[in-house]
Structure 1
């Protein structure tokens, strides 16, 4: 039995999500039998600015400009900004390593580069790594298919610091709605410290169906990204989805 930990590079390690992944990657699952080794080993944490310390809690830190000098890794987990996405994608393609990315706000050229890279490496881009949101996407597609002609509105709420609107999760939910035949409309709210709320509403004559997901802790996204990294490692090239990795869907 191979107990070798999965070597992970965290790109965007100074952000909220990067910090959560860094913290959770160091934890041994509570259900693991003692003395079980940690399933992941963070071999590099990459930040946008030069780190004030080169090694923190045993993890080497690198500035984004030093990305090419990062040690060998099995999977990169990326929660950065669109302007930082291209170098980590290129590094993974060059080294033949898997990439799990949750960076939102990518433009058309970056989407194209992502699809091209998926022809040579296993790659998962997701707007949301929550297992609950993966289920919500399935439910939205089914509801849209079952409710032809109904109005479909997606309302998303996030903290005041979130830049992109609609959120990547809202757009992904909208694509699920389109797959079912609906034409979604979007509304965005930015208030306080809301982690993430997504409401998908289908309205007909005299009745309304609402599907909602509320996140109260970013750990759910970090935990989902680590789970996705474990499932993606060792697979062949391709563009994977959370639904596919977690539930065996397409």
Structure 2
């Protein structure tokens, strides 16, 4: 009888713990934002930490998907970010930039203005609708592959908006890939417009930032096809005396690699948000 009673009590405790833990869980919203520049509405996912209703203001990390992805990528492929939002008490915004925008304001097609959308319109929308720390000390941006290129490019160009930036397997120099991922549809062909390709490669925009202006974390797998361009970016940052964390680990251009990377990136941003 005593053993049976103990088992029942343990079961009740487990049920109560499960119930309470689910009362305090991150909230995932799919929102509809407005881009005046492109004259359309664009979806995004917002993950709010479990303490969001405490009346505080929270830092925000913007997450940028890769080529062929969407705003829904991170919650589907890396669901652990919900727990990380709770752990670090930060808002996560999963932006959408169409499948092949490269987060550019296209000089070829004025309908593609995703630099303006993500760096200005989306940031303003989030600050207006959520309880955020609405300055660069409370904003970071990172992404994977095309999104890694986008995150660093936007941060370099908009360092007044973002205080920290990261890249996971980022395409940080697009010039070695003139026939890939519809980049030529955004910029025109590299043969016809080499200056555009240079101006829109992250490695050529280091001059825009000064030492200690941005907190940077760059991560790429040893077996990734973007490994060489990430090594080049690292070397150029060293030459320019720009502090940054640079991580090379075994791995390729895969969702498994990025699911691991995002844990390091969010820890890094948490340290940035909490530095004195």
TM-score, normalising length: structure 2 = 0.39
Higher helix share: 2
Quick check: which has more Rg, 1 or 2? Answer: 2
Higher strand share: 1
